[in-house]
Structure 1
Amino acid sequence: MIPVRGVEGQNIAILGLGRSGLAAARAVQAGGGNPVCWDDGAAGRERAEAEGFEIRDIGRAGALDDVSLLVTSPGIPHLYPAPHRAIAAALEVGVPVDNDIGLFFRSLATSDWDQFETIPKVVAVTGSNGKSTTSALIAHLLAEAGRSVQLAGNIGRGVLDIDPPEDGGVVVIELSSYQTDLARSLTPDVAVFTNLSPDHLDRHGGYGGYFAAKRRLLAEGGPDRAVIGVDEPEGLFLAGQLSEGPADDRVIRVSSGRKLQGPGWSVFARKGFLSEYRKGRQVASIDLRQVKGLPGAHNHQNACAAYAVARTLGIAPRVIEAGLHSYQGLPHRSQVVGEKDGVVYVNDSKATNVDSAAQALQAFDRIRWICGGLEKEGGLEALHPHLGNVAKAYVIGREAEHFALGLGDGVECEICGTMEAAVARAMAEAQPGETVLLAPAAASFDQYDSFEKRGEDFMARVRAALDV
């Protein structure tokens, strides 16, 4: 646990009592503060009460009179589309609002670090797609190189729930836009921006607000090194903002699909090969085509970003290459479930939006595509240029017919409705050399509690049919 610093003897309101909220309450208590807890759901309040925390409806009049700080969970709106009533009340009376990420950064360093030979480092990863894979891959590469590393944030443990890092340790944290938008302290040693595509626009008041939330990690965080994907205009702009000149190697530019120019530090993947360039010269190259845990151009971008972080932390290219080959991938993200009779079965249930599904569709040559669910804002037109590898689509979800119409006339569709029917039909029709791919391009909540549950259903049905 990371005890929160600067809260001794103070009442600290905790809003939202899920994983991060309860961890924040415990960390505040460990730092000598008094957590005052609230959740709109009875189950959350009961969990906190069972741990002995004070329960108080902090949205009612006068409830914040003796409170020094309000700590909110990331899923609770603080501005758009409208602030939660407790946050609005805090802002009205001048009580500062923060989240567990802000508490983490202000509390991580202690006087014990004065005795360390090597000060611990924090690597923070944000972006629209690939941030979980990139974060997990960075942690894997560091662990394979013998470094002490912990993975936290949106993936792994809550940031306040980890152990205090030891001498030379590294903490890798994945951060969503919800987390970067509000944190009052953001001071990573290395910050990563993977890419940007439309998501959570209602929460950020539009695309510009969404980019601004991501941008805070780098522009306000002041990292020693910034690893930035430059395949979208926003990333290219951000790299330009942070760089002091063409040869400024504090900014490492990353790309998938094109060679990067200039005298600075860059890492890019092209035709399946990762290349590192410094001062206009190639210094390393890795063949990514046989790295089974990272298929497709989108995963090659993740590999480039993770490689850049490992290099800035002093890991040699050949050690990184060995770590890439031993990486098994994350569940529900281009996860190979099985193979039989020349057909490969891949679970990418995390492809919950059009952009991530498009990337998955480009990773395989001939696809039996299981798709559908709760369609997100913006429609499916952006998928149309990426359907050339799809032999047939098997559409699931309560609105499967509407989803199928959105795919247009460029791909053959079958309305299946359920995962059971879709898996059965795709397996019956798949030919050697094809991939049965779950990449829904939609949220799961019309049929499942989460994308994880959807992926688990797919895997269970495939494995039962394959008898593995």
Structure 2
Amino acid sequence: MIAVGGYEGEGVAILGLGRSGLSAARALRAGGARPVLWDDNPDARARAAEEGFELREFTRAGGFEGIATLVVSPGIPHLYPAPNEAIAAAWAAGVPVDNDIGLFFRALGQGAWDALDTPPKVIAVTGSNGKSTTSALIHHVLGAAGRASQLAGNIGRGVLDIEPPGEAGVIVLELSSYQTELARALTPDIAVFTNLTPDHLDRHGGLGGYFAAKRRLFAEGGPDRAVIGVDETEGRFLANQLSTAPADDRVIRVSVAAKPAGPGWQVAARKGFLTEWRKGRQVASIDLREVRGLPGAHNHQNACAAYAAVRALGLGPRQIEAGFHSFEGLPHRSQIVAEAGGVTFVNDSKATNVDSALKALLAFDRVRWICGGLMKEGGLDALGPGFAHVEKAYVIGREAAGFALGLSGVEAEICTDMATAVARAAAEAQPGETVLLAPAAASFDQYDNFEKRGDDFAAQVTAALGAGSGR
């Protein structure tokens, strides 16, 4: 645990008692603060009471008396579509609002690092798609190279649950827009921006607000190095904002869409090859085509971002390449769950929006596509470039019929449930094809989360293969 100091003897309110809320409460108590907690869920309050924490409903009169700051869990809206009532009450009382990410960076600044010859580093990764894989890949490559590393944030452990880093240690954080938009301290040594596509627009009041939340990671703390995906306008804008000259190597530009040009530090992937360019010259290359844990152009973009981050820490290209080859990928993200009869079964349940599903489709040539769920804003038209890769779609979810209507020109069978979709796809798949779960939709109409959906897919694949469905 990382103890959070600076609030000794003071009351600190914590709203929301999920993983991050309870973690923050424990870290604050360890640092000498007096945490005061609330959650609308009575079971969550009961768990907090069992640990001896004080409970208080902040929306009642005097709810913020004796409170120095309010720490909010990331799922609680503070601005759009409307401020949470307790947050509005904190504003009215003049109480600053923060989150566990802000506490984390504040606590690290208080660490006893003066005694270390090589202080720890923090790499923070944000973006719309690929941030989990990029974060996990950075962590894996560092470990494979013998560097002490911890993975936390929106993936792995809560940021305050990790151990205080030691000599030359590295903390890799995956940060969502919900986490970056509110943190009062954001001071990573290396910050990574993978890409930007529309998502969470209601929470941020539109695409501009969503980008602004991501941009705070770079604008608030001024990282020593910034790794920026420049295949969208927002990334090019951000890279330009952070650069002071064309050859400024504090910014490393990443692309899978354009050949590197200019004198700056760049990492690109084209036709399956990652290349590093500095001062207008190629200095390293890695063949990504045989890296099984990173299939498709979208994962090659993740590889470029991870490569740039660990290169900025001083790792060599061959060290990084070795780490890539031993990386098995993350569950629910282009995860191969079975291979039988020349057919590959891939779980990409994390493809919850149109952009990530399109990238999954483009990663494979002949796809039996399991899709559908709780549709998001914007429709399905942007999936069009991937339809040429689809042999047939098998649509699940309570809105399956409506979803299927959006798949213009694609043969679609309405299956509704996962068991039917997997059984039908497995029975019809031919050697050389891929049965791919890439829903392009949220899971909440049928599952608690995308992980449960992916687990169900894997279980149904096992059942279908065990039943001898043509394999």
Shared fold (TM-score, shorter chain, > 0.5): yes
Report the counterpart of residue 411 of structure 1 in structure 2: 410
Report the counterpart of residue 101 of structure 2 in structure 1: 101
| Matched-pair contact (CA < 8 Å) for 1:14–1:21 | yes
CA distance in 1, matches of 2:465, 2:169: 42
1:60-75 → structure 2 map (5 Å cutoff): 60-75=60-75
1:222-241 → structure 2 map (5 Å cutoff): 222-241=222-241
CA distance in 1, matches of 2:148, 2:463: 38
Report the counterpart of residue 374 of structure 1 in structure 2: 374
CA distance in 2, matches of 1:13, 1:466: 52
Report the counterpart of residue 462 of structure 2 in structure 1: 463
Structure 1 stretches of 4+ with a deviation exceeding 6 A read none
Instruction: Give the AA of the match of 2:317.
Output: P
Report the counterpart of residue 86 of structure 2 in structure 1: 86
Q: 1:258 deviation in Å?
A: 2.3
Instruction: Give the AA of the match of 1:415.
Output: I
CA-atom RMSD in angstroms: 0.9
Report the counterpart of residue 437 of structure 2 in structure 1: 438
| Matched-pair contact (CA < 8 Å) for 1:13–1:36 | yes
- Partner secondary structure for residue 79 of structure 2: coil
After superposition, the C-alpha distances for 1:166-196 in whole angstroms (9 at most, x for unaligned) are 1100000000001000000000000000000
Report the counterpart of residue 428 of structure 1 in structure 2: 427
Report the counterpart of residue 310 of structure 1 in structure 2: 310
| Matched-pair contact (CA < 8 Å) for 2:349–2:438 | yes
Q: 1:219 deviation in Å?
A: 1.7
CA distance in 2, matches of 1:101, 1:345: 37
CA distance in 2, matches of 1:466, 1:115: 57
Instruction: Give the AA of the match of 1:30.
Output: A
1:206-245 → structure 2 map (5 Å cutoff): 206-245=206-245
CA distance in 2, matches of 1:358, 1:433: 20
After superposition, the C-alpha distances for 1:328-371 in whole angstroms (9 at most, x for unaligned) are 00000000001011100000000000000000000000000000
Pair 110,62 (structure 1): closer, same or farther in 2 beyond 3 Å:
closer
Instruction: Give the AA of the match of 1:270.
Output: R
| Matched-pair contact (CA < 8 Å) for 1:128–1:194 | yes
Instruction: Give the AA of the match of 2:31.
Output: G
CA distance in 2, matches of 1:42, 1:364: 47
- Partner secondary structure for residue 266 of structure 1: strand
CA distance in 2, matches of 1:70, 1:112: 26
CA distance in 2, matches of 1:89, 1:451: 34
1:10-49 → structure 2 map (5 Å cutoff): 10-49=10-49
Long gaps (5+) in structure 1: none
Report the counterpart of residue 190 of structure 2 in structure 1: 190
After superposition, the C-alpha distances for 1:29-67 in whole angstroms (9 at most, x for unaligned) are 000000100001111111111111001101212110110
Report the counterpart of residue 145 of structure 2 in structure 1: 145
- Partner secondary structure for residue 160 of structure 1: coil
CA distance in 2, matches of 1:111, 1:435: 49
After superposition, the C-alpha distances for 1:358-406 in whole angstroms (9 at most, x for unaligned) are 0000000000000000000111111122211000000000010000001
CA distance in 2, matches of 1:324, 1:194: 18
Q: 1:465 deviation in Å?
A: 2.7
Instruction: Give the AA of the match of 1:444.
Output: S
Report the counterpart of residue 266 of structure 1 in structure 2: 266
CA distance in 2, matches of 1:464, 1:323: 33
CA distance in 1, matches of 2:261, 2:411: 41
Instruction: Give the AA of the match of 2:162.
Output: I
- Partner secondary structure for residue 114 of structure 2: helix
- Partner secondary structure for residue 333 of structure 2: coil
Per the normalisation by structure 2, the TM-score is 0.98
CA distance in 1, matches of 2:156, 2:11: 28
Instruction: Give the AA of the match of 1:130.
Output: G
CA distance in 2, matches of 1:430, 1:53: 55
Long gaps (5+) in structure 2: none
Report the counterpart of residue 334 of structure 1 in structure 2: 334
| Matched-pair contact (CA < 8 Å) for 1:193–1:227 | yes
CA distance in 2, matches of 1:463, 1:425: 14
Q: 1:286 deviation in Å?
A: 0.2
| Matched-pair contact (CA < 8 Å) for 2:69–2:95 | yes
CA distance in 2, matches of 1:273, 1:180: 32
| Matched-pair contact (CA < 8 Å) for 1:275–1:284 | yes
CA distance in 2, matches of 1:340, 1:111: 52
After superposition, the C-alpha distances for 1:214-236 in whole angstroms (9 at most, x for unaligned) are 00001222000000000000000
CA distance in 1, matches of 2:238, 2:110: 32
| Matched-pair contact (CA < 8 Å) for 1:395–1:422 | yes
After superposition, the C-alpha distances for 1:294-332 in whole angstroms (9 at most, x for unaligned) are 000000000000000110001010010000000000000
CA distance in 2, matches of 1:389, 1:446: 27
How much identity, in percent, do the aligned residues show? 74
CA distance in 2, matches of 1:266, 1:69: 41
Q: 1:110 deviation in Å?
A: 3.8
Per the normalisation by structure 1, the TM-score is 0.99
Pair 153,440 (structure 1): closer, same or farther in 2 beyond 3 Å:
same
After superposition, the C-alpha distances for 1:70-115 in whole angstroms (9 at most, x for unaligned) are 0000000001111111100000110000000000000013452111
Residues matched between the structures, number: 467
CA distance in 1, matches of 2:188, 2:257: 28
CA distance in 1, matches of 2:461, 2:367: 16
| Matched-pair contact (CA < 8 Å) for 1:71–1:99 | yes
CA distance in 1, matches of 2:260, 2:47: 51
| Matched-pair contact (CA < 8 Å) for 2:134–2:303 | yes
Q: 1:461 deviation in Å?
A: 1.1
Instruction: Give the AA of the match of 2:170.
Output: V
| Matched-pair contact (CA < 8 Å) for 2:231–2:255 | yes
| Matched-pair contact (CA < 8 Å) for 2:422–2:464 | no
Instruction: Give the AA of the match of 2:136.
Output: A
